[in-house]
């Protein structure tokens, strides 16, 4: 099996993002030849997901081309494993088979792996009797890969919905690791629906919205996340980093919505009417204030910051 590291994924992304032919060959090989390097690499990122979120999404986004969309959509809709760390002190499992490097366990009780919404609904639960493979033990909390099929798109939808319900700026202020995760989700959604036929876009929206509350779907949640980002930007970013992050979130979110429009996804039209001139006025003001903010930032730091946009 290929040893896993972020370097492998970044190299994969650099190669595959500009090569539809290689990406198509990768997905065909990964799904048809179980012992191939392609299959091993896909297993390596999938077996760590969603505990290690970004490598899996980076692989999907970078290999996403018109010729691979259907393969990626179907693959991500039926993931066979879910990896997590167990809560410290959790004892609701028993050992089925124990070897030095291979310990199998089974759940003695159902296990919640994604918390419910405030309405008490929407929890993601691994059922009693599910078999898992312990990936780490010892002094740290155990990491287990459950043999549990689930819809990866729906998991992304629940992540977006949870960020929205807790407030975009609250979430990213409390944990900056959510910024690359949110951007990666938007990149995957945008790349999947961009230029796609109406029926395919509808399938992506339905699959991603599967575990959301009835009043939401991935399009309306994206719309509200973009609205929250624009609202903060309109008032004025508190720092250069916040400005860059919120601009990136708003830009990618708008691209998701634009893909829904071009894909004739029905749920986008009421939102376009709802946004109206308020959005466009806000975007115009943000463009002006962002230019002023960056000018003042550059003047203050005399263009010595590596992250400064004028370098």
pLDDT tops 90 at residue 242: no
Same domain, 16 and 128: no
Structure tokens at 275: 């946004």
At 252 the pLDDT is 93
CA distance 173 to 175: 6
pLDDT tops 90 at residue 274: no
Structure tokens at 96: 């089925």
Same domain, 190 and 305: yes
Same domain, 183 and 53: no
**In which element (H, E) is residue 72 found?**
helix 69-77
Same domain, 66 and 90: no
Residue at a domain's end among 146, 162, 179: 146
b/e 81-106 (16+ beta carbons within 10 angstroms → b): bbbbebeeeeeebeeeeeeeeebebe
Q: Is 89 helix (H, G, I), strand (E, B) or coil?
A: coil
- Chain segment 23-63, per-residue pLDDT in tens: 999 999 999 988 899 999 999 999 999 999 999 999 999 99
- Chain segment 124-138, per-residue pLDDT in tens: 889 999 999 988 765
DSSP-assigned states of every residue in 130-186 = -EEEEEE-SSSPPEEEE---B-HHHHHHHHHHHHHHH-HHHHHHH-TTHHHHHHHHH
Q: Is 106 helix (H, G, I), strand (E, B) or coil?
A: strand
CA distance 79 to 20: 23
Same domain, 104 and 19: no
**Domain residue limits at 310:** 151-311
Residue at a domain's end among 105, 126, 146: 146
At 101 the pLDDT is 73
Same domain, 137 and 60: no
User: Which whole number is the average pLDDT over 78-96?
Assistant: 90
Question: Which of 1-15, 117-131, 294-308 ranks highest by mean pLDDT?
Answer: 117-131
Q: Is 105 helix (H, G, I), strand (E, B) or coil?
A: strand
pLDDT tops 50 at residue 272: yes
Same domain, 107 and 36: no
Same domain, 107 and 220: no
Residue at a domain's end among 25, 48, 79: 79
Same domain, 210 and 71: no
At 237 the pLDDT is 65
- Chain segment 136-160, per-residue pLDDT in tens: 765 577 889 999 999 999 999 999 9
Same domain, 163 and 128: no
Same domain, 297 and 231: yes
At 278 the pLDDT is 64
Same domain, 20 and 102: no
> In the chain, how many domains are there?
3
């Amino acid at each position: 099996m290929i040893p896993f590291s972020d370097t492998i994924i970044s190299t994969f992304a650099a190669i595959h993002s500009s090569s539809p032919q290689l990406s198509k060959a990768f997905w065909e090989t990964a799904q048809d030849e179980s012992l191939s390097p392609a299959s091993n690499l896909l297993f390596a990122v999938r077996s760590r997901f969603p505990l290690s979120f970004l490598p899996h999404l980076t692989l999907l986004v970078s290999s996403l081309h018109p010729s691979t969309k259907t393969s990626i959509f179907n693959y991500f809709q039926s993931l066979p494993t879910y990896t997590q760390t167990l809560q410290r002190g959790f004892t609701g499992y028993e050992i089925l088979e124990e070897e030095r490097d291979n310990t199998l366990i089974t759940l003695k009780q159902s296990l919640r792996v994604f918390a419910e919404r405030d309405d008490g609904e929407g929890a993601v639960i691994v059922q009693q009797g599910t078999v898992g493979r312990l990936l780490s033990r010892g002094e740290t909390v155990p990491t287990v890969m459950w043999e549990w099929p689930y819809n990866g798109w729906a998991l992304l939808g629940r992540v977006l919905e949870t960020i929205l319900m807790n407030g975009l700026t609250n979430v990213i202020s409390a944990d900056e690791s959510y910024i690359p995760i949110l951007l990666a989700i938007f990149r995957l959604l945008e790349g999947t629906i961009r230029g796609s036929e109406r029926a395919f876009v509808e399938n992506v929206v339905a699959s991603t919205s599967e575990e959301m509350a009835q009043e939401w779907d991935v399009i309306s949640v994206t719309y509200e996340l973009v609205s929250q980002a624009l609202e903060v930007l309109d008032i004025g970013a508190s720092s250069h980093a916040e400005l860059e992050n919120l601009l990136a979130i708003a830009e990618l979110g708008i691209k998701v919505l634009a893909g829904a429009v071009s894909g004739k996804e029905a749920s986008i039209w009421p939102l376009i009417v709802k946004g109206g001139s308020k959005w466009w006025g806000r975007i115009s003001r943000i463009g002006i204030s962002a230019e002023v903010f960056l000018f003042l930032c550059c003047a203050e730091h005399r263009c010595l910051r590596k992250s400064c946009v004028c370098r």
